[in-house]
Amino acid sequence: MFGYLYNYFAGLDPLLSALRRLDAPTLLLCRGANPELVAKHAGGSVLVTSEPMSVSRLLPQAQFVVCHGSHQMTAQSLLAAKPLLMLPTQLEQFLIMRRAVRFGAGLGVDPAVPDADYGKALAELATPRFAAKAQEFAARYAAHDPEAALGTMIGRVEAALERRAA
């Protein structure tokens, strides 16, 4: 499992506990994580780090991804055919989470849910149906070229600026 979470995520401690109970190799990037919390969960199958890393190099090795549901992390994960457990902290992430959940490639936990059962969500995410939908997504967008998409966006912005200046 690979995770990328914010240090201020209120459910971080119970999530780490649920991950430890799974006893599956887990790498969690969490910049600025509370050292006491990191120490509490050290020594098991979960490694919490704040060191920068290449997500694109790690994703192929992951069975699934835990994140907040940012556009970038969600897109990278689904293009790598990895199902997601999304824990949104803001409206944009919540909306992205809803789309991925509706598609069937992930699960989400609403931040307003008290005492969320992360263990149950992680166990459910490990079922084959989520991986199949993530693979379907990856196959559908296999020809996606991020550089070409960026070029298209830049071209559209420049055209809009030129129209406005005229």
pLDDT in tens, 75-98: 999 999 999 999 999 999 999 999
3-state secondary structure of 41: coil
pLDDT for 26 equals: 92
Mean pLDDT of 32-60: 88
Is pTM beyond 0.75? Reply is yes
Residue 138 has pLDDT above 90, yes or no: yes
Report d(CA 9, CA 164) in Å as an integer: 41
Mean pLDDT of 139-153: 88
The amino acid that residue 65 corresponds to is V
Question: Can you list the domains of the chain with their CATH numbers?
Answer: 2-165 (3.40.50.2000)
C-alpha distance from residue 70 to each of 74, 102, 164 (Å): 6, 16, 31
pLDDT for 106 equals: 97
**Quick one: what percent of the chain has pLDDT higher than 70?**
100
**Quick one: what percent of the chain has pLDDT higher than 90?**
67
Report d(CA 71, CA 76) in Å as an integer: 8
